[in-house]
């Protein structure tokens, strides 16, 4: 440590230990103070993060893990800015889930460039006892800390008075009363955050006497600045990525030598800490609750989790969500579609050349394919964010857990499964709330089996082709029934696949359902807005890249063919068109379809034909399967192009074109057997590059997306074959 | 009690949170399953704490518990998890 510069980067300067100052000096330059935000789930941490950083947020990854690393820049004073890291909510420093492991690895390694200068611990003032547990652990690690006493309004409603001065005295760190949702107290917190902070002056727990020899050995071996950190090394060396194999072996031998029992010790520690917290609260908190007034949340729960009303209301909410995603989202989607088509048309009419074609039919079409999902993703996450914010989602998982568990899922799987009906990409992203790895993987794996909105065009066209438009029982429509049947088929496939995976997968991790039931609150629209923005951004940039790449590849395959072949068929098509006196439009349609048949994609279609013939498909469907591999909604467009041959392309809808298609005997090609086989194929087949990209991103590897692809395609093949064989 | 308790002198206080009636309060005595205990302790189910069975999910499981004399907060947990919390 050398200059006064360290003091500005490291607020711990005054009272911080020498080790920490050295760590700070070793940190790569930059004048940003790094502040970590920690707290229990439901302690209003996200609200505080949003208040501190506004839209100055970005989501990255913690090195080596799938967990999102949310950081933002906060302007503390006109001169001083700080980098805020929003850590996942946790109840203690002993991690259970992947999310929580990020926290420990961040706080243990103070030589890491990620190591925070200090922490802001958010606690729920109406529930101090449990919230202070985490705080005392952090303080014992010697991290300079500020206690953000959040939800002062709720505490007041509950008749809880906190003596701030006394609490500050007892805890040995600055305490700021806050109401992060309303922004009260943020200014005071910012000022405090811009000051120089010392390490906490209080200790809340000392390792038991008999542990001290082992703890000291670890402490000196690793040159740690306190005993408690050394104790955590003994507890968690297996999960600490920054330790070398030798160091781990050392810790393993040491803990065995001392016969260290982590479970017992952790339990002892937790109990000791609670006892200490109770003492502290005795001096700082007074509760003046005159009557045992039942909280309004519990009264609301009587209705919202009622055995009849609970489910009825839940289905009402679902209904509203589907309405939003299917009906309301269609307007902005159309606008985007038209916008992209408009830009495309504009470019195409004004420029020409292979690069322009790549830009319009490849890049822009691909981009359009990404952008078109934004309204649905935004609306879906608006709903989910509101349901989460209000606390209702916890009730839904509560009501569904028993049912879902039977199939190897978890109450929390209900959110991804429901979301999957709109789009599997955000749905898979939302599976992140499931702590148990096995439950989460199963959920991610089966979610794409739920019929997403991209399947709707395919369903509509094919159902319209083979199911008569008849009324059933007076008010219902037969086509409606068929559509519902397809959705149910997808749903049951998801459920039973989950059940099969439950039997196949082994896990040592236990599945918990112990969670806090948050009280009902009004949603903060700012939080909802930020969530939507963040999800849309993630989708566009993460999945978008892959979709764009695949779209370009497909464009190449559909545009180019073996040398000379395309030119040849085009001249041929034009000659025949001229002899048949087709209109220019018809001629163009004919040329387009002829070119497609002879392009690489078309050739692949022919190659594929023997494989898909058992399902009743020909090479034309083969081409559509190939082009719609990246995104199933492309199917209808491709079919439309291919089946334009020799017909009044502009007069007919896709459906009429398909209906007019004849087989070699002159009979309609799309028999019920073929159509249903194709329908069933689309219910099960993966046919979505974005989903694979999302699974890859969420599972951090190609194993799961590949399994998903093979499984779903296999299932689709077998089911289609069965349908076709049975029906024809 | 049944004949069995005469043969196996099991403690008569083997009641767990699972056996609580709706709205009934009791004090936690100890936690049976060490691994589960860690999670429960963190969530504030400390021996000596008062809990009240607040509600059951429509299918009987999971359940919700109100923890603390001041009715501090509500937890939800599965019946199998509740069975590891023994009462005084």
Q: What is the spatial distance between Cα A107 and Cα A134, in angstroms, rounded to a whole number?
A: 13
Contact B38 A287 (CB under 8 A): no
DSSP for A73-107, please give it.
EEE-SSS-EEEEEEPPP-SSSS--SHHHHHHHHHH
pLDDT of residue A678: 92
Backbone angles phi, psi at A53, to 5 degrees: -110, -20
DSSP H stretches of helix in A539-688:
544-559, 565-579, 584-598, 600-612, 619-627, 634-642, 654-660, 672-684
Contact B59 A402 (CB under 8 A): yes
Cα B85 to chain center, whole Å? Answer: 4
Task: Tell me the per-residue pLDDT of A501-543, one tens digit each, with 9 for 90 and over.
Answer: 988 887 777 777 888 888 888 888 888 898 888 878 877 776 6
Q: In which residue are the tokens 């600490």 written?
A: A240
A8 pLDDT above the threshold of 70: no
A29 pLDDT above the threshold of 50: no
Interface test with B, best of A44, A135, A517 (most B CBs within 10 A): A517
Residues of B in contact with A439 (CB under 8 A): none
Choose between A367 and B38: higher pLDDT.
Answer: B38
Contact B78 A401 (CB under 8 A): yes
Task: Tell me the per-residue pLDDT of A100-134, one tens digit each, with 9 for 90 and over.
Answer: 777 887 888 877 778 888 999 999 998 888 899 99
Average pLDDT of A535-555?
73
Contact A398 B34 (CB under 8 A): no
Distance, in angstroms, between A514 CA and closest chain B CA?
Answer: 4
pLDDT of residue A16: 39
CB atoms within 10 A of CB A137: 24
Q: Could you give the 3-state DSSP secondary structure of residue A515?
A: strand
Q: What is the spatial distance between Cα A419 and Cα A450, in angstroms, rounded to a whole number?
A: 9
B37: which 2 tokens?
Answer: 């205990």
**Are A510 and B77 a contacting pair, CB within 8 Å?**
no
Percentage of residues in chain A having pLDDT higher than 90: 23
Q: What is the spatial distance between Cα A415 and Cα A434, in angstroms, rounded to a whole number?
A: 10
Domain range list for chain B: 13-87
A2 pLDDT above the threshold of 80: no
Of B39, B59, B66, the CB nearest to A514: B39
Choose between A148 and A648: higher pLDDT.
Answer: A148
End-to-end CA separation in angstroms for chain A? 83
**Are A622 and A604 a contacting pair, CB within 8 Å?**
yes
Task: Tell me the per-residue pLDDT of A181-231, one tens digit each, with 9 for 90 and over.
Answer: 888 899 999 998 888 888 888 889 988 888 999 999 999 999 888 899 999
Task: Tell me the per-residue pLDDT of A235-271, one tens digit each, with 9 for 90 and over.
Answer: 988 888 788 899 999 999 999 999 999 889 999 999 9
Domain range list for chain A: 5-193, 209-287, 548-727
Strands B63-67 and B50-56: antiparallel
Strand order in the sheet with A81-86: A57-61, A68-75, A81-86, A33-39, A118-124, A145-150, A175-177
Residue B35 in contact with partner chain A when CB distance is under 8 A = yes
Residues of B in contact with A310 (CB under 8 A): 58
Residue B48 in contact with partner chain A when CB distance is under 8 A = no
Q: Tell me the pLDDT of chain A averaged across its residues.
A: 82
Q: What is the spatial distance between Cα A310 and Cα B34, in angstroms, rounded to a whole number?
A: 35
Q: What is the spatial distance between Cα A606 and Cα A618, in angstroms, rounded to a whole number?
A: 8
pLDDT of residue A649: 43
Backbone angles phi, psi at B65, to 5 degrees: -120, 140
Average pLDDT of A322-328?
74
A404: which 2 tokens?
Answer: 């879902």
Q: What is the spatial distance between Cα A118 and Cα A174, in angstroms, rounded to a whole number?
A: 12
Contact A514 B81 (CB under 8 A): yes
A469 annotated as belonging to a binding site for a ligand: no
Q: Which of residues 160-189 of A touch B (CB under 8 A)?
A: 160
Q: What is the spatial distance between Cα A439 and Cα A501, in angstroms, rounded to a whole number?
A: 10
Of A92, A129, A513, the CB nearest to B62: A513
Choose between A473 and A180: higher pLDDT.
Answer: A180
Q: Which of residues 514-533 of A touch B (CB under 8 A)?
A: 514-517, 519
pLDDT of residue A652: 59
Q: What is the spatial distance between Cα A648 and Cα A471, in angstroms, rounded to a whole number?
A: 32
Strand partners, B33: none
Contact A512 B72 (CB under 8 A): no
Cα→Cα distances A163→A148, A207, A231, A285, A696, Å: 14, 29, 33, 6, 50
Q: What is the spatial distance between Cα A301 and Cα A314, in angstroms, rounded to a whole number?
A: 13
**Are A361 and A595 a contacting pair, CB within 8 Å?**
no
Q: What is the spatial distance between Cα A401 and Cα B68, in angstroms, rounded to a whole number?
A: 25
Q: What is the spatial distance between Cα A513 and Cα A413, in angstroms, rounded to a whole number?
A: 12
End-to-end CA separation in angstroms for chain B? 18
Backbone angles phi, psi at A617, to 5 degrees: -95, 150
Residue B50 in contact with partner chain A when CB distance is under 8 A = no
pLDDT of residue A289: 66
A234 pLDDT above the threshold of 70: yes
Choose between A693 and A252: higher pLDDT.
Answer: A252
Backbone angles phi, psi at A383, to 5 degrees: -60, -50
Residue B10 in contact with partner chain A when CB distance is under 8 A = no
Task: Tell me the per-residue pLDDT of A409-463, one tens digit each, with 9 for 90 and over.
Answer: 888 898 889 888 877 887 887 787 787 888 889 999 999 999 887 787 788 788 8
Interface test with A, best of B70, B80, B82, B84 (most A CBs within 10 A): B70
pLDDT of residue B9: 46
**Are B70 and B57 a contacting pair, CB within 8 Å?**
no
How many inter-chain contacts (A to B, CB under 8 Å) are there? 112
pLDDT of residue A641: 67
Contact B38 A264 (CB under 8 A): no
Residue A471 in contact with partner chain B when CB distance is under 8 A = no
A56 pLDDT above the threshold of 50: yes
A638 annotated as belonging to a binding site for a ligand: no
Of A270, A287, A517, the CB nearest to B76: A517
Choose between A276 and A636: higher pLDDT.
Answer: A276
Strand order in the sheet with B85-87: A515-517, B73-77, B63-67, B50-56, B25-31, B85-87
Residues of B in contact with A311 (CB under 8 A): 58
pLDDT of residue B8: 44
A147 pLDDT above the threshold of 90: yes
CB atoms within 10 A of CB B12: 8
Q: What is the spatial distance between Cα A413 and Cα A691, in angstroms, rounded to a whole number?
A: 17
Residues of B in contact with A133 (CB under 8 A): 42, 44
Residues of B in contact with A411 (CB under 8 A): 62
A86 annotated as belonging to a binding site for a ligand: yes
Choose between A153 and A293: higher pLDDT.
Answer: A153
A680 pLDDT above the threshold of 90: yes
Residues of B in contact with A129 (CB under 8 A): 44, 68, 72
Identify the closest residue of chain B to A290 by CA–CA distance. B70
pLDDT of residue A547: 65
Choose between A322 and A317: higher pLDDT.
Answer: A317
Residues of B in contact with A266 (CB under 8 A): 38
A12 pLDDT above the threshold of 70: no
Comparing C-alpha atoms, which of A270, A264, A140 is closest to residue A206? A140
A42 pLDDT above the threshold of 60: yes
pLDDT of residue A24: 42
pLDDT of residue A448: 95
Percentage of residues in chain A having pLDDT higher than 70: 89
Query: What CATH code is assigned to A5-193?
Result: 3.40.50.300
Backbone angles phi, psi at A717, to 5 degrees: -65, -50
Contact A298 B68 (CB under 8 A): no
Residue A506 in contact with partner chain B when CB distance is under 8 A = no
Of B70, B71, B77, the CB nearest to A514: B77
A25 pLDDT above the threshold of 50: no
Cα→Cα distances A312→A315, A317, A391, B63, Å: 5, 9, 18, 20
Task: Tell me the per-residue pLDDT of A564-616, one tens digit each, with 9 for 90 and over.
Answer: 888 888 888 888 888 887 777 777 777 877 887 888 888 888 898 899 999 98
Q: Could you give the 3-state DSSP secondary structure of residue B62?
A: coil
Distance, in angstroms, between B74 CA and closest chain A CA?
Answer: 5
Interface test with B, best of A412, A513, A520 (most B CBs within 10 A): A513
Least confident of A8-17, A342-351, B52-61, B79-88: A8-17
DSSP for A418-443, please give it.
HHTTT-HHHHHHHGGG--SHHHHHHH
Q: What is the spatial distance between Cα B37 and Cα A266, in angstroms, rounded to a whole number?
A: 10
pLDDT of residue B13: 59
DSSP for B9-56, please give it.
---TT--BGGGPPTT-EEEEEEES-HHHHHHHHHTT--TT-EEEEEEE
A153: which 2 tokens?
Answer: 């309004």
Identify the closest residue of chain A to B75 by CA–CA distance. A516
pLDDT of residue A568: 86
Interface test with A, best of B58, B69, B81 (most A CBs within 10 A): B58
Cα→Cα distances A302→A90, A327, A420, A514, Å: 28, 32, 29, 20
- For domain B13-87, the question of CATH label 2.30.30.90 is answered with yes
Least confident of A171-180, A187-196, A628-637: A628-637
């Amino acid at each position: 440590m050398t200059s006064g510069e360290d003091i500005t980067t490291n607020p711990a300067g005054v009272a911080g230990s020498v080790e920490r100052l050295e760590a700070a000096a070793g940190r790569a330059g930059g004048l940003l103070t790094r502040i970590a935000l920690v707290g229990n789930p439901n302690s209003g941490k996200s609200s505080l993060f949003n208040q501190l950083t506004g839209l100055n947020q970005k989501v990255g990854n913690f090195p080596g893990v799938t967990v999102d690393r949310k950081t933002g820049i906060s302007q503390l004073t006109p001169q001083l800015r700080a980098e805020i890291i929003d850590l996942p909510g946790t109840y203690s420093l002993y991690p259970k889930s992947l999310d929580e492991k990020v926290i420990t690895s961040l706080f243990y390694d103070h030589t890491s460039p990620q190591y925070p200068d200090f922490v802001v611990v958010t606690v729920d003032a109406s529930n101090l006892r449990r919230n202070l547990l985490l705080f005392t652990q952090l303080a014992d690690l010697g991290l300079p800390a500020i206690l953000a006493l959040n939800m002062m309004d709720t505490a007041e409603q509950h008749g809880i008075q906190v003596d701030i001065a006394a609490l500050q005295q007892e805890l040995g760190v600055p305490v700021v009363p806050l109401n992060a949702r309303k922004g009260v107290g943020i200014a005071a917190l910012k000022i405090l955050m811009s000051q120089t902070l010392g390490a906490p002056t209080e200790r809340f727990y000392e390792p038991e006497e008999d542990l001290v020899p082992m703890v000291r050995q670890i402490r000196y071996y690793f040159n740690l600045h306190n005993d408690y950190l050394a104790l955590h090394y003994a507890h968690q060396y297996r999960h600490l990525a920054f330790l070398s194999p030798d160091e781990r072996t050392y810790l393993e031998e040491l803990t065995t030598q001392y016969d260290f029992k982590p479970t017992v010790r952790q339990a002892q520690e937790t109990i000791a800490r609670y006892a200490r917290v109770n003492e502290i609260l005795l001096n700082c908190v007074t509760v003046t609750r005159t009557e045992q007034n039942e909280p309004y949340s519990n009264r609301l729960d009587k209705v919202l989790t009622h055995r009849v009303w609970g489910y009825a209301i839940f289905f009402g909410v679902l209904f509203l969500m589907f309405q939003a995603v299917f009906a309301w989202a269609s307007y902005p989607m159309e606008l985007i579609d038209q916008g992209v088509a408009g830009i495309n048309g504009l470019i195409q009419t004004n420029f020409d050349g292979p690069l322009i074609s790549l830009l319009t039919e490849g890049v822009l079409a691909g981009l359009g394919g990404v952008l078109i999902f934004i309204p649905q993703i935004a609306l879906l996450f608006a709903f989910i964010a509101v349901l989460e914010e209000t606390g209702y989602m916890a009730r839904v998982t509560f009501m569904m857990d028993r049912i879902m568990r039977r199939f190897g899922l978890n109450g929390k799987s209900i959110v991804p499964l429901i979301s999957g009906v709109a789009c599997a990409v955000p749905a898979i992203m939302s599976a992140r709330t499931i702590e148990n790895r096995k439950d989460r993987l199963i959920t991610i794996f089966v979610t794409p089996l739920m019929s997403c909105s991209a399947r709707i065009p395919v369903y509509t066209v094919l159902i319209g082709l083979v199911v008569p438009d008849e009324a059933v029982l007076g008010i219902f429509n037969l086509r409606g029934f068929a559509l519902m049947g397809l959705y149910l088929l997808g749903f049951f496939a998801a459920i039973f696949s989950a059940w099969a995976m439950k039997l196949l997968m082994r896990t040592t991790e236990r599945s918990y359902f112990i969670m806090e039931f948050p009280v009902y609150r009004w949603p903060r629209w700012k939080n909802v807005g930020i969530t939507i923005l963040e999800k849309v951004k993630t989708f566009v940039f993460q999945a978008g890249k892959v979709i764009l790449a695949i779209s370009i590849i497909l464009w190449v395959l559909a545009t180019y063919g073996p040398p000379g072949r395309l030119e040849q068929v085009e001249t041929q098509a034009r000659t025949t068109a001229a002899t048949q006196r087709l209109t220019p439009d018809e001629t163009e349609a004919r040329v387009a379809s002829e070119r497609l048949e002879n392009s690489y994609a078309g050739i692949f279609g022919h190659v594929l034909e023997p494989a898909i013939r058992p399902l009743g498909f020909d090479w034309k469907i083969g081409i559509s399967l190939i082009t719609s591999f990246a995104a199933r909604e492309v199917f209808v467009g491709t079919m439309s192009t291919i089946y334009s041959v020799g017909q009044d392309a502009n007069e007919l809808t896709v459906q009429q074109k398909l209906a007019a298609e004849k087989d070699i005997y002159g009979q309609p090609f799309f028999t019920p057997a073929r159509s249903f086989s194709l329908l069933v194929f689309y219910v099960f087949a993966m046919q979505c590059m974005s989903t694979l990209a999302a699974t890859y991103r969420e599972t951090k590897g190609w194993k799961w997306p590949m399994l998903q692809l093979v499984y779903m395609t296999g299932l689709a093949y077998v089911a289609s074959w069965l349908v076709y064989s049975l029906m024809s | 009690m049944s004949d069995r308790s005469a043969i196996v002198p099991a403690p008569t206080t083997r009641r767990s949170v699972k056996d609580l009636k709706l709205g009934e309060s009791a004090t936690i005595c100890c936690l049976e399953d060490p691994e589960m205990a860690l999670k429960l302790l963190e969530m504030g189910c400390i021996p000596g704490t008062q809990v009240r069975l607040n509600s059951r999910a429509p299918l009987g499981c999971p359940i919700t518990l109100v923890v603390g004399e001041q009715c501090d907060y509500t937890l939800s947990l599965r019946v199998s998890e509740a069975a590891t919390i023994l009462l005084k």
